[in-house]
A and B are shown apart, each in its own frame.
Chain A
Amino acid sequence: MDGRLSFNPTSLRQAASWPRWWLWAVVGMAFTLMWTIPFVPWWAGLGSGLCAVLTLMVLAFYARKQYEEKPLDGEDLMEGREAKQVLEQVDALMLPSNNIEQIPQVDEVLQSMAADNQRRRLEDLMRRWVDVAQRYSEAALVLRKEIYSVIKQTEQAANTIAGSFEAVINKATIQARQAMELLEGTQGAASDGVPQSLKDFIQVSDERLNKMADEVVRVADLSVNMVRELDGVQNRTQAIDGFLLDVEKLADQTSLLALNADIEAARVGEHGRGFSVVATEVRRLSKRSHEFSDRIRVHLKEVRTGLSKTYGDMRTLSAADMEHALKIKEDVISLTRSLEGKNREVAETVSRINEISKEIAQDVQNVVVSLQFQDITSQKLNSMLEPMDDLRRTLYHLMQETIGLDKNLLKNLPGNDHWLSRMRPDHKIEEQPEANPEEKPMKDTKQELPKIHEAGGNGPAIELF
């Protein structure tokens, strides 16, 4: 027991009443003065009063000295009402003491009270300690459940993300491969004259359309030549026309000559009759020559009309052919250029797709690296759980020991059986799924308190032994 609690009740009495002495001293002095003034000179009365006051002051000083020589500790001092209660208890003990043979010692009573007080304080302390342990245990359980939940949720999220990215990279790879196949398909070479790619198709089409355009141009050239030839034929028909005029002139002269011969034959009479017959025949020949010439002219005219029409048609045809051929050629060239441009764009796009696919692959690699932090975080959180569980175990054992010391200690604590069972090291949270293959088991309780995993650590990231 602490010595500070063994105080003297006399000093307590003094401590509680010594200020009253001053009051009584002043009252005494006043009465002394009032009583002596009518009988003795004022200075005698004052002197007596002062003597009385002095005496009382000496007594008060002595009382105070007694009080100060046995001071009470401030912490344990029972002040005011408490001190009064103690004094009343002492008085209560003292009053009936005249009628009781054995009077209990005041010190023993006070020691017993101090012991009770100490015990109550200890009980209170113990209750607070148990309350803290209980609250820690509850909080640790909740924290454990939350951490476990975080680990599972992040793991599920990481699995989903990893799966999604795997699908993304697979699709990107397929896309890149198909793009390359498309690129090879559009850029590949022809085999046996059959186009194997768009590029080859464009090339072959270009060649063949050019050939066709050249043929059309050649036909147009031939048409022009034919027109030119027809022009020559027409000129020749005009020459024939001139020749026919000459023939007609000859026929006219022959007819005139025949007429003269006929006249001369008539003049000579009978002797010229034979000559007249010849002249008639000559005239008839001349006439037939005219008729023949006319018929030739008619035919020649028809030929010329036909030639003229053909000439016009041929000119139109040759001009249209040339124009059409040139237009086709231009269109073919334009189409070819357009197709080549499109083909080039396709090649560039495919090439860009391929590049993007590579970039996606690189990004996914970065994702693969980042997603591993989920595993690292889970391990760190798990390693945080171990010290918590260890502390919970330690608390559980301490509580068991405490209860072993005093079975009644926790009697008043509500629901202590329940929470103590929850503090058991093998207690599991209701929501925590069991037999999960991904869950790491708690380590042996006897092992030393594990350290939280050191981030970064030491040594190289990759090492071959």
Chain B
Amino acid sequence: MATILTVDDTASMRQMISFTLNSVGHDVIQASDGKEALALLQGKKVDLVIADVNMPNMDGITLVKSLRALADFKFTPILMLTTESQESKRQQGKVAGATGWIVKPFNPEQLLTIVKKVLG
């Protein structure tokens, strides 16, 4: 099973994502914003990152750009899980290097399907 990092400033969201992924055996680590996520990923590898867009300190788009700049995370799948659904925001995510865009609220079953798909 994979190790997945979830980044969201809302504790209940992190809890629900963890709960959903744990139910199929994935290991989940949590961060409350982009800055904390980057600090957590120092010298650590994860198989997938699921990040919110609107977060304090460092938003999700900046986090994606920062991760893509690191050699270890050049090809790591990064899914954006956000309330934002505007096309302009999606394009920003795509340009930054995000692998996919999921609009909240997520369906646990669909999330697991998409996670399975991006993990290969």
Interface positions of A (Cβ within 8 A of B): 155, 158-159, 161-163, 166, 169, 365, 368-376, 378-379, 437-441, 453-454, 456-465
- Measured between C-beta atoms, what is the minimum distance from A462 to chain B in Å? 5
Distance, CA A453 to CA B84, complexed state (A): 8
Residues in chain A near residue B103, CB distance under 8 A: 457, 459-462
Contact B108 A368 (CB under 8 A): yes
Docked pose: A461 CA to B117 CA in angstroms: 16
Which partner residue on chain A sits nearest B118 by CB separation? A464
Closest Cβ of chain A to B38, distance in Å, is 16
A368 touches B85 (CB 8 A): no
- Given A162-B19, A376-B105, A440-B54, verify A459-B85 contact (CB < 8 Å): yes
Is B61 interfacial (CB 8 A cutoff)?
A: no
Question: What is the interface of chain B, defined by CB distance below 8 A to chain A?
Answer: 8-13, 15-16, 19-20, 23, 32, 54-56, 83-87, 90, 93-94, 98-110, 114, 117-118
Question: Closest CB of chain A to B52's CB: distance in Å?
Answer: 8
Counted as pairs of residues, one from A and one from B, with CB atoms less than 8 Å apart, the total is: 108
Minimum C-beta distance from A456 to chain B (A): 7
Q: Which residue of A lies closest to B108 (CB)?
A: A365
Interface SS majority for chain A: helix
CB distance from B17 to the nearest CB of A (A): 9
Task: Give A258 Cβ to nearest chain B Cβ, in Å.
Answer: 118
The 8 A-B residue pairs with the shortest CB-CB distance, nearest first, are A457-B85, A372-B105, A158-B12, A464-B100, A375-B10, A463-B101, A461-B103, A465-B94
A155-B12, A368-B20, A438-B9 given; A462·B94 CB < 8 A: no
- CB pair A465–B11 under 8 Å, yes or no, is no
Q: Is A162's CB under 8 angstroms from B12's CB? A: yes
Q: Contact between B90 and A459 (Cβ–Cβ < 8 Å)?
A: yes
Q: A369-B106, A462-B103, A465-B98 in contact; A438/B84 too (CB < 8 A)?
A: no
- Decide if B11 touches A155 in the complex (CB within 8 Å): yes
| Cβ B85 vs Cβ A458 within 8 A | yes
B99 and A465 contact, CB distance less than 8 A: yes
Q: Is the CB of A372 within 8 A of B104?
A: yes
Interchain CB contact under 8 A, B12 and A373? no
Residue of A nearest to B13 (CB): A375
Q: List 17 A-B contacts (CB under 8 A).
A: A169-B23, A369-B107, A371-B16, A372-B104, A374-B10, A375-B83, A376-B83, A439-B56, A454-B86, A456-B85, A457-B85, A461-B110, A462-B100, A462-B102, A463-B101, A464-B99, A464-B117
Q: Which of A166, A372, A379 makes the CB contact (< 8 A) with B19?
A: A166
Q: A162-B12, A462-B103 are in contact. Are A369 and B108 (CB under 8 A)?
A: yes
Highest count of chain B CB atoms <10 Å: which of A155, A368, A437, A458? A368
8 further A-B contacts with Cβ under 8 Å, apart from A372-B104, A460-B103, are A159-B12, A162-B16, A370-B105, A376-B105, A438-B11, A440-B9, A440-B54, A440-B55
Min CB–CB distance A371 → chain B (angstroms): 6
| Given contacts A368-B19, A465-B94, A458 and B87 within 8 Å (CB-CB) | yes
B32 A438 Cβ-Cβ under 8 A? yes
Closest to B55 in A: A440
Chain A: CB-nearest residue to B113: A462
In the assembled complex, the Cα of A437 lies from the Cα of B35 at a distance in Å of 12
Contact A379 B54 (CB under 8 A): yes
**Cα-based distance from A374 to B114 in the complex (angstroms):** 23
Select which of A161, A169, A438, A462 is within 8 A of B10 by beta carbon.
A438
Closest A residue to B11 using CB positions? A159
**Distance between A375 CB and nearest chain B CB, rounded to angstroms:** 4
The answer for the CA separation of A215 and B86 in the assembled complex, in Å, is: 85
